[in-house]
Structures are given as C-alpha cells and as structure tokens.
Amino acid sequence: MVDKWLPVWDRLRLFEARDDDSRERRYIVDMFPYPSGDLHMGHAEAYSIGDAVARFALMRGYDVLHPIGWDSFGLPAENAALKREMDPREWTYANIDTQAESFKRLGISFDWRTRLHTSDPEYYRWTQWIFLRLFERGLAYRKAAPVNWCPNDQTVLANEQVIAGKCERCGSDVTKKNLTQWFFRITAYADRLLDDMAQLEGCWPERVLTMQRNWIGRSAGAYVDFRIEGHETPVRVFTTRPDTLFGATFFVVAADSPLAAELCSDDKRDAFNAYVEQVQRMSEVDRLTEGRHKTGVDLGRHAINPVNGERIPVYAADYVLADYGTGAIMAVPAHDQRDLDFARVFALPVRMVVDTGEPDPNETGIATHGDGVLVNSGPYDGMRKDEAIAAIAADLQGDAHGEPATTYRLRDWLLSRQRYWGCPIPIVHCGACGEVAVPDDQLPVELPVRGYELRPEGGRSPLESATEWVTVTCPSCGGPATRDTDTMDTFVDSSWYFLRFPSASDHSQPFDAQLLRRWAPVDEYVGGVTHAILHLLYARFFVKALHDMDYLDFTEPFTRLTNQGMVIMNGSSMSKSRGNLVKLQDELASYGPDAVRLTMLFAGPPEEDIDWADVSPTGAVKWLARVWRLASDIGRAGVGSDPATGDPELRRSVHKLVHDATAQTDHKRFNVAIARLMELTSLLRKAIDAGATDAAAGASAVREGGEALARMLSIFAPFAAEEAWELLGNEPSVVSAGWPTTEPSLLVEDSVTCIVQVAGKLRDKFEVPVGITEDELRERALASEAVRRTLGDRPVRTVIVRAPRLVNVVPG
C-alpha cells in the first residue's frame, strides 16, 4: 500500500507549498530530528501529530508549508566516528538517509524541497553569517569561564559527559578549569524575553511559559555596597530583601571567585586554597542544594554594613555562585535558610529584623520569609516589609551606598565547544589586530576534512590539531594569524533553521525576507517538552536580535506551541538497559504505518504520555479493516448522485459526526475526533446492513458518509484513506478532495430530549420541540408523574428552566 501511494503523491505534488498562492497560508513545523539512528517511537508520535495538523490545514484549503530538516551536528557523530574509525559525516548522512526514507514510508506530508542539514556547509555558512552579525553588535564576545575538566584525560567534558561528578570515560573526579569561551549576550534580552511572553499566553502550554519565566528569573531588589576593611574598593552585593539589611551578620563571597582570592588575608591563605580545591570538584547542582551541610572558610576580614556601620566577618563559601549576581552576598540568617544553616555551623549571630509572627529562627532553625513589621532596624522600625524595601533602597541610593536594581537568573549563553563536529566559529586571532571577523565573502569557514584528530592530547580543541587549517593570514592586516578552533553549540544551528525552510536552497542569503513575510512566524510548532527551556529561549533570542537588525519584521518565532508527551513502556521511558525498548520498525512491520499513527493519536490527547503497553495497534488495524470493507461494500453505489437527494435521517447523523470530528480536530483532540470517525464507520455499516444502498436516497447518503470518512481519515491514516477513496470509485488523491463540509440545516434538530431534575437529580426525560417556551416546559415538567412521585407532599420552591434541554424542580 505504501509503495502504491507514495509515487502517486509525488506525481501530484500534493504537499508542495505555493509561495504565490492567494490562499491563506499556514506554516507548520515539527522540531527537526537529530540523526542518531533510525526513527524511534517518539519520532512516530511527534510527527503523527504534526502531520495531522499539517494535513488538516491542507484539507481545509490553506496553502501549507510543512518542512523537514536535520539537526545534524553534534557529539554522538564524533563518538560513533571514534568507535568505528570513520568520518563523522558518513555516520551522520547515512542516518539522515535512513530517517528520510522512514519519514516517507510513514506517509508524513513534508515538502521535501525544504530539506536542509545544519552540518552542510551551505547551511552553516549562514550560521556563521548570523554569528558575525551578533559579533558586530557586541552580542557575541569572549571571556574566561569555568568548564568541566578531566585531569586524567586532560580534556574538556560536556555536562552530559560528567556522570555524578566523575569523568564518564575514566571515572576520575572532574574539576573546573577556566578557559576563554565564546558567549552570546542573551542577558541583554532578558526583559524582552520575559515581557513578550504576554503575547504567547494561551497559545503556548502554561508550564512552558512558567519554565521560561523561572529560567530567566527576574528579581527586583537592590545593590548594596559594602566597604571591606583593608581593601580599596567597596564590594557590591545584590539582595532581593534590602529590608533585612540590619539583620546582616556576616558576608559571603563565592569561594571560586577572583574576589575571594583577592580578599583573603595572608594568614588564612592556606586554609582558603585547600577549600577552593575541594569546591572545584563539586557540581553546581550539588552546591546549590538546600539542606546540604554548609562549608566555608573565614577570610580574616571584616565588611562594614553601610546602614549601621557594623563590622561583620567575611567568609568564602560554596553556596554562593561566582557568576550569579556579583558573586558576593550579605548574609541574613534570620530570613534566609541557607544563611541560617551556615550561621549555625559557624556559630554566627542570628538577628531577626522582620517580625512575621513566626517562631524565632534562633530556636527553630527555620528562617522566616513572610511579610511583617521591621524590628531592630533603627529608623525603619515599624515599617511593613514592602514599605521598608522601597525606603531602604531609596536611602542607599541617596547615600551612594547602593541603588534599586533588577537581576536575572539567566546567564549569557556559553556557545563555544571544544569539538570537531560543529559549526566553526568564523573568527581569526591576529597578534596585531586581535579578534578579526572572517569577511562575509570568505564564508563558510569549512571544517577541515583531514589532518585533524578527534581527541587530541592535552585537551585541545580537535580543530587545533589541524595545523594547516588553523594557520591563516589576518584578513585585516595580512599578517600571520590563527583560526578560532572552537565550534558552536548545536543549539546555535537550531535557533534559526525555521527561517531558512522557505528558501532552503538559496545560496545568496540565509533566509528570504520576502518569503518570510508570507510564511513567518511559524503558526504551529510541535515538539517535545525537553526543549521547553533552552531551544525555545535561544530561538526567541535569535529572532529578536535579527529583528533589531532589521532582518525580520516579527519578534516571536512560534505563534502556537504543542508539546507532545513521551512514548513510554510499562510506566517508564524506553531504554535498552531497562529492556523495555519498543522498536518503531518492528511495530511498522507488524501493523503498518497507518495503524501505528492511529494508535499514537488515539491513545489520548497529544500532551499526555503514551504507555505503549496500554494501547492497542491491533485495535487500529481492525478498525482500518472495517473502513476498508465498508468502502468496498459501498463500491460505486450512489456514485455521481447529488448528496442533497440523500436520505435526510442518515445525512443528519453523518453531518453531526463530521461537525464534531472537525471541531475536535481543530482543537487537536485527535483521540476524540478518531472516536467520531469510528462512530461514523459503525453508523454506515448499520445503514448498509439494513439495506440502505438498495434505494437511491440511501445509496446517496451512504456514499456521502463514506467519502467524508475517507477524507477525514486521510489526516490520520493517509494510505488507508487513499485506498478507501479509490474503492469508492474516485480518482486519487483523497487529499485533493478536501475536508468534508457540513450543511447547517442538517445540524439543527427539531426536537431534543429534555431532562427533568428534582433537586438536581435526574427524575424524568421526554422529547420536546426545540422551540418550546419556558412556561410550556415548566407545565410539562410539573405534570410529570415521576416528578410528582419524587416530590411527594413537599411544596415546590423554585423551578429552574433552561429551555429546551433542562428543568430543575427545587422542593421547599
């Protein structure tokens, strides 16, 4: 069946978007796959959903762009290449071909002209071009930053190569090492990334918006400058609680920050160095865990609290992060749990300055956070928390000891990777000129094909080992220079791919602004929740930055977002090690693409996880067989007849089901829509078995229903739908037939069932004309035998009438 229909679809060019079409357009994008092997069950679910959305839009008469590409740079290709001693290209492009073939055999309605791979020089040329535009704007810059370092292998490790603090390959403890790294200044867009979410409200899943908000983590508060005894410049800290300033009893700087080393007094130097070494072995997650035993070291210095002149000791500790805020905090143990935990370990004073009515933290060991009245705070005593926050922040500013401020949890995006299989950073380092951009007309900076080592000694970037490639002349002064040897995070590649789809083969520009005016932004973006934070945030950042450079006329890339759930097996996610892996190709071999797609969609709403053990591809197979038999039994009956001549009773039922299925599909309730299609199947089966096709009116109505079924089925099970369409005596393709329409006159009923409740409980029901008046209905309800029996001698207090469907008699 697959082999029969694929060539037909190709020949009819059903799924090609028309850039100059007068129809309204729809841009529907499934998050592009990573070519890790063949497609798996998760892909089948995601793309079944996306395809239903795309095909529905197409059937409804939109000009649809439904593209496909591959996110084809990344570490797994390098690992596979190392293991098999091959070029990462071979592994990558072989997998892409396999996946492309699988997509076709699944019947996904991609416009294959959009096909792109982020690892093609034709693509990454433009990734580099965008990088340079960001570089020109100061949105890409270099600074020293800590990376994971394996001292044994002498190599940099990605976060995912660090398993529980150990090197995944040799098992030794991973430490942090400072390296100069490339960053994107995404923090410059923190406010807009946050504020523009207002327009996504209701269109993106609530939880994704929440996750993004949390990730950006805007908090309002104040900067406070503390003078440090024996140190020239004051140290600035950020606090969300300036109202607790009088409760600051000590001061903490991040142990691994340069500031800590700077502040450390000479007699504490040894203890400090030992502590820092210990800290560098820990992961950030561990460091931030609340409730962990607090550690730190006294730096032998004092800070001066600007509001009361108090001398407070300065500590270095690991629960403060060097790159969050200013890397230093004022510690208020009474009102911050981690400060309190630390104070208790080091026997530091705890002073309550906001009376929240909760028990004293000194005794309970529980810091208080609530609202209350200030105490022990000099002139601010008696103020409420909010009042005090404003007053103290303002006074600090007045005295030049600080200012109101906003900070973010979001940090700049570290994009450089010491890897081979990624997009080279188009920068040349020149002794005389510094960082020099590779001129646009020399792009792409292509990866060297030979003369490099994937894992060079000494933890250098693989590209550094390609000495011939590295050595260049400076584009600016012509002197000797070297190429930047890092490659970009693959999230860079995927932050703009949806801009290139409409002009995927255009070699003159990254994207076509003219075409994007027609297609962008993406109407429907379908993908896993795993990308809910980083990918979506990065893509939003790119679009905003490109908008600010006047390349784009929109500021949000994805108008609507659907996160499909995962396909799990027996309650947990599939994995080889759990032994619960279900192979897509096995399922396809057993049940066929249509049944697998149907099973995915019928299992529940798209957002929910699907436990493959709970669902039944066999059920889908059986239903498809019923549809096939139905179409076959209808055959040419009623062919060419005017639907209007069809049996009105049957038509009424058919149109009602079509109407419902349409509404449900529109809301992506595919499971419910498919249930309606199943009902339609049963309805038509019964009609045929009752001899409907013997009369012209019946045959006409059955044909109308059968054709509607085939058309609607085509968005879920496209091959079976074509087959049914053909059995019904029609020319291919069912896709060209479009979505069935309904006649409003057939949807209005002339009588409905009225339910009669007594005290909210169902007691009687009867058929009434739709136009019945409230008075009439009340009469009939009160006259009901069942109602009178239930009421007994109780008087009637009120009668709620909702004509024509309901009457509720409320006894006194």
Partner RNA sequence: GGGGUCGUAGCCCAACGGCAGAGGCACGUGUCUUAGGAGCACGCCAGUGUGGGUUCGACUCCCACCGACCCCA
Per CB under 7 A, residues contacting RNA are: 206-207, 210-211, 214-215, 217, 288-290, 409, 529, 533, 602-605, 608-609, 611, 614-616, 618-619, 622-623, 625-626, 669, 671-672, 674-676, 678-679, 682, 685-686, 689, 753, 755, 757, 759-762, 765, 798, 800, 802, 805-806, 808, 810
Closest-CA residue to 23 (of 51, 60, 50): 60
Cβ atoms of 65 and 16 within 8 Å: the answer is no
| Of residues 338 and 483, the one with the C-beta less far from RNA | 338
Which residue lies nearer to RNA by CB, 362 or 616? 616
Q: Which is nearer to RNA, 97 or 614 (CB)?
A: 614
Least gap, CB of 195 to RNA (angstroms): 18
CA distance linking residue 149 with residue 790, whole number of Å: 79
Which residue, 429 or 778, is less far from RNA as judged by CB?
778
Q: For residues 133 and 338, which CB has a smaller minimum distance to RNA in the complex?
A: 338
**Comparison of 507 and 761: residue with beta carbon closer to RNA:** 761
At closest approach, how far in Å is the CB of 415 from RNA?
Answer: 19
Peptide bond into 740 cis (omega under 30): no
When the beta carbons of 154 and 289 are compared against RNA, the nearer one is 289
For residue 76, the one-letter residue type is P
Burial class (CB within 10 angstroms; exposed 0-12, middle 13-18, buried 19+) of 448: middle
Element (H, E) at 485: none
Least CB distance to RNA at residue 805 (A)? 6
> Rounded to the nearest whole angstrom, what is the least distance from the CB of residue 672 to RNA in the complex?
5
Least distance from C-beta 568 to RNA, angstroms? Answer: 10
Residue 690 in 3-state DSSP?
Answer: coil
Strand boundaries in 598-682, DSSP class E: 610-611
Task: Find all residues with CB under 8 Å of 79, minimum gap 6, and list them.
Answer: none
The CA distance from 281 to 175, in Å, is: 5
Shortest Cβ distance from residue 476 to RNA (Å)? 41
Nearer of residues 281 and 802 to RNA, judged by Cβ: 802
Strand partners, 167: 162
Nearest to 107 by CA among 42, 51, 29: 51
CB of 369 to RNA, least distance (A): 7
Measured from the CB of residue 519, what is the shortest distance to RNA in angstroms?
31
616: amino acid identity, one letter: S
Which lies closer to RNA via its Cβ, residue 373 or residue 615? 615
* Closest C-alpha to 436, from 134, 185, 136: 136
Minimum Å gap between C-beta 657 and RNA is: 9
- Backbone torsions φ then ψ of 764, nearest 5 degrees: -160, 160
* Range 614-623, long-range pairs (CB < 8 A, 24+ positions): 617/587, 617/590, 617/591, 618/591, 620/591, 620/594, 620/595, 620/596, 620/717, 621/591, 621/592, 621/595, 623/598, 623/678, 623/681
Q: State the minimum distance, in angstroms, from the CB of residue 539 to RNA.
A: 17
Place of tokens 């619960």: 580
Q: Measured between alpha carbons, how far is 109 from 122 in angstroms, rounded to an integer? A: 25
User: Would you say 181 or 757 has its CB closer to RNA?
Assistant: 757
| 37 contact partners, CB below 8 Å, separation of at least 6 | 95, 98
Q: CA-to-CA distance for 385 and 391, rounded, in angstroms?
A: 10
